[in-house]
């Protein structure tokens, strides 16, 4: 019986060491990813402000699509198209 308990204790110890090793590798990767995200966030501000005209154009197009003029044109087109 002592042999079985010793084998079980060794297996549990080896499993715990493997778990700790994997946790260390994972935490290193998380730290590296966090640094990369921080760098991206600090440097993205200038690049995102350059996209303001594009975002404004998309907003105006989406506003036109949801406006009454577009709905009326769609209705008129529906009257003349036979589907």
Cα–Cα dist 49/45, whole Å: 6
Please give the model's pTM, rounded to 2 decimal places. 0.49
> What are the backbone angles phi and psi of residue 62, rounded to the nearest 5°?
-65, -35
Domain boundaries, the chain: 1-50, 52-83
pLDDT in tens, 41-77: 888 777 777 777 888 888 887 776 666 777 777 777 7
The alpha-helical segments, DSSP class H, found in 50-67 are 52-65
Cβ proximity of 25 and 33 under 8 Å: no
């Amino acid at each position: 019986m002592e042999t079985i308990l010793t084998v079980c204790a060794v297996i549990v110890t080896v499993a715990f060491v493997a778990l700790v090793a994997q946790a260390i590798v994972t935490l290193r990767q998380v730290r590296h990813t966090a640094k990369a995200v921080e760098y991206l966030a600090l440097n993205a501000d200038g690049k995102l402000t350059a996209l303001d005209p594009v975002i404004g154009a998309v907003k105006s197009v989406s506003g036109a699509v949801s406006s009454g003029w577009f709905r009326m044109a769609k209705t008129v087109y529906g009257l003349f198209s036979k589907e």
